[in-house]
Each structure stands twice: as structure tokens, then as C-alpha cells.
Amino acid sequence: MVYMDGCFDTMHYGHANALRQAKACGDKLIVGVVNDAEIRRCKGPPVCNDEERIEMVKACKWVDGVVTDVPYEVTDAFTDELFEKHGVDYVVHGDDPCLLPDGTDAYAYPKRIGRYREIKRTEGVSTTDMIGRLLKMGARAAGEDVEEEEVKEATFCTTSARIAQFGAVKPAPTDAKVVYVHGAFDVFNRGHIDLLRKAKQLGDFVLVGVHADGDVRGRYGAQHPVLNEKERALSVLACRYADECVIGAPATITNDLLTTFNISVVIAEDESAHVIGGKDVNELAVRRGLYATVPREHDCSVLHVAQRIMENRAEFEARNARKTKSESAYYAQKKTMTET
Ligand code: CTP
């Protein structure tokens, strides 16, 4: 059994990729989630609260169990507790330095006794990066003049290997009840997880249509999407309730889509707007009797997440200024993105 801990704030596909690699270091993966108060004390304000972050980690398909309220500063005593109480064999962490306040390595103890494994940190994405992108989006939405060169471009390069690592192992069996759910899935959050969980309950195979960047931009405005369609697809694919993903799916349900993927039902949240340019995007599914709605459980969207950040803008800007320094130092020393 292996153990990985972290904050997993605005959980992104970099975190998911860390959990994927950690899982590959053993047979079972237990994840320790640091609580809000600890994050605030050690790193700055969290964007997502305890409940949301725990929910996000639990929904990741490589996670077998979660330990909550773990300390940010890992002590030898806590590490012993992991070994003895939770049956952990190895502690796993990304290859970015993780230092205690006294400047020593947080994982020195498991390293010394040979019970530490290291995974490669995922390039081009981090909580700092997500907050930075959302701050820019919020500023633009508020009508502020954000210079083009000030906008931090996504540096993550989606390879076919990464898609394969995250993606479905098998296509839908011919007799499967395929549930189709589509949307932007921008800044994957708890609301998305609720929707995919409900989709899974309605069939055997959940196919997720991740709308193309241009469609999302056309629908919501120039500051959308925050993540590009490949990044959005990776977050969806890391979710245990999603079986397969159409990357850059059409915004409107077409005959071709329904027949190609043998779709039995198209579902959507009852409160979301499905009308673009005066036309219901699900109209064909409705007409064919293939449409169903599910209730919205949590009001969470990219706009809500951006709003939280904008409401505490000064704090998040200060947090990011600090974190950007350490991230830049990491990128300055890194040599390759190759993973084992
Ligand atoms: N991680 C990773 N790749 C990233 C971001 C995080 O591999 N792009 C790994 C970290 O190395 C750690 C785990 O994910 O092992 C949990 O990270 P977390 O504690 O949430 O935060 P950070 O390491 O600070 O990452 P971020 O800035 O994204 O919050």
C-alpha cells in the first residue's frame, strides 16, 4: 500500500497524474488530505474547502482511500502512524522539494529507512497556475484591461501517451447502455463530479462530450475557457465515473453523435441553460425520447470558483506572488519531463 498527501486545491489533472503515478508504485493508494486551517496557516487561503477537496480526491479513479486532517508538516511520529495504523508500505511525493519550516526535507524519515518513492511532477499546471488563470479571467470579466502579454498561457503539452494513460481501457460493449453528458467541464469541480456520478447511475457506460474551445468561447465569452479542451478532457478522464471522452465534442447533439456512439440517453442538469443562439442543443435527443434531466446538487461552476478568488483577490495575489517564486525555481532546475 502506498500513501500520498497534499492539499489538492482546485484539483487539476497534475494532481490526478501524481495520484496515477503513485498508484503505480503499489497495489493500493491511500491519500492524505490536509485541512483548510492547515493550508491557510502554511500556504495561504484555500480556494476549495475541506469537503470539496476530499470529494474531488475520492472521485479520482486511482484513489482507494482517503485520510483526512493530515498535518501539512509531516512528522516522524505521523509517518510511523501511517506505517503502523494504516498499513502503508511507501510514502510517495512529487519531485519538487518539500521543506519543513526549519529547512529540512519533509520526507527525510521515510527516505532514510527506504520507504519513500518519488514521482515526476506534471509540467505546466499547478494550483498557483489555476489561481493565476482564474484571477485573469475574473479581472477580464470585471472589464479590467488585462494586457495580452500579461496573460499566462498554458504551458502544458498534451501528448497522446498522457491521454492513453488517463483514458478508457476498453470501448463501450455493444450491449452497454451508453449515457452521454456534455459541456465545457472547465476547472473540474464538485458540481461536475455530482453530474457524472448521476450519469453513471443511469447506465453502464458514461461518455463525456468535452466541448471545443471555440464553442465554449462563443457561448460564454472571450475569457473562457480557463483550460483548453485537452486539459479539460484529462480532468474528466481522471474521474472514476467517466468511461470515455469525446475531446472537442460538438455543442449540439447530432444524429451522427447519437448513432456513432450508440447513445441510449443524453442527460443534463435541470437548472442549466441548454439554448445557444436560440436553439436547444439537446433538441434532437428530446425529440427521439432520449433525454433526461437530473437535479443539481451543488451550485458550483468555474464562475463560482473565480468569484471566490476575486472576493479575496488581495490574499490570492499575495499567495501567488510567493508560490510563483518557488515554482520558477523548480522550472529553472528541471531538465526533462520524462516519467517512469
Ligand atoms: N503535484 C504534481 N504535479 C503538479 C502539482 C502537484 O505531481 N503539477 C503533486 C505534488 O508533488 C504532490 C501532490 O501532487 O505530491 C499534491 O500536491 P499539493 O500538496 O496539492 O500541492 P503542490 O505540490 O503545492 O501543488 P500545487 O501547486 O498544484 O498545489
Which residues, 6 or more positions from 251, have their beta carbon under 8 angstroms from its beta carbon? Answer: 182, 211, 212, 215, 219, 276, 281
Provide residues with CB under 6 Å of ligand 1: 4, 6-9, 14-15, 18, 93-94, 96, 121-122, 125-128
241-282: per-residue pLDDT in tens?
A: 999 999 999 999 999 999 999 999 999 988 666 877 778 999
Same domain for 257 and 173?
yes
Q: Rounded to whole angstroms, how far apart are CA atoms 86 and 79? A: 10
Work out which ligand 1 atom sits closest to the CA atom of 127.
Answer: 28
Domain check: are 277 and 170 in the same one?
yes
Rounded to an integer, the average pLDDT of 8-37 is: 97
- Grid cell locating 261: 456512439
The range of the structural domain enclosing residue 217 comes to: 158-294
59: in domain: yes
Cα 205 to averaged position of ligand 1 atoms, centre (Å):
30
Helix axes 50-58, 190-201, angle to 10 degrees: 40
CB 154: neighbour CB atoms within 10 A?
15
Please choose from 121, 125, 235 the residue to mutate so as to test ligand 1's pocket, defined by most ligand atoms within 8 A of CB: 121
Query: Residue 275: inside a domain, yes or no?
Result: yes
- Alpha-carbon distance 165 to 325, whole Å? 31
Residue 72 lies in a domain: yes
With respect to residue 71, please indicate whether it lies within any of the assigned structural domains.
yes
Mutate to test the pocket of ligand 1, among 52, 107, 126 (most ligand atoms within 8 A of CB): 126
Within this chain, do residues 112 and 174 fall inside the same structural domain, yes or no? no
Atom of ligand 1 nearest to the CA of 95: 11
| Orientation of helix 302-311 relative to helix 127-141, angle to 10° | 90
Do 115 and 171 belong together in one domain? no
Q: Which ligand 1 atom sits closest to the C-alpha of 121? A: 7
> How many angstroms is it from 96 CA to the middle of ligand 1?
8
Atom of ligand 1 nearest to the CA of 130: 28
Yes or no: say if 309 and 138 are a contact pair by the CB < 8 Å rule.
yes
Distance 8 CA to ligand 1 centre (A): 7
- 146 belongs to a structural domain: no
Is 125 within a domain? Answer: no
Domain match, 57 and 184 both: no
Average pLDDT of the residues of the chain: 90
Interatomic CA distance for residues 297 and 147, integer angstroms: 37
**Predicted structure pTM score:** 0.92
Q: What is the pLDDT of residues 86-97, one digit of tens each?
A: 999 999 999 888
| Segment 99-120, tens digit of pLDDT | 877 888 889 999 999 999 999 9
Q: Looking at the structure, tell me whether residues 187 and 270 fall in a common domain.
A: yes
Clarify whether residues 180 and 260 are in a common domain: yes
Question: Would you tell me how many other CB atoms lie within 10 Å of the CB of residue 270?
Answer: 10
User: Domain check: are 37 and 97 in the same one?
Assistant: yes
Q: Find the CATH number of the domain harbouring 233.
A: 3.40.50.620
- Residue 151 confidence (pLDDT): 46
Are 90 and 165 found together in one domain?
no
User: Do residues 114 and 170 share a domain?
Assistant: no
Q: Is residue 329 part of a domain?
A: no
* Atom nearest to 94 CA in ligand 1: 11
> Looking at the structure, do residues 163 and 111 belong to the same domain, yes or no?
no
Domain check: are 14 and 113 in the same one? yes
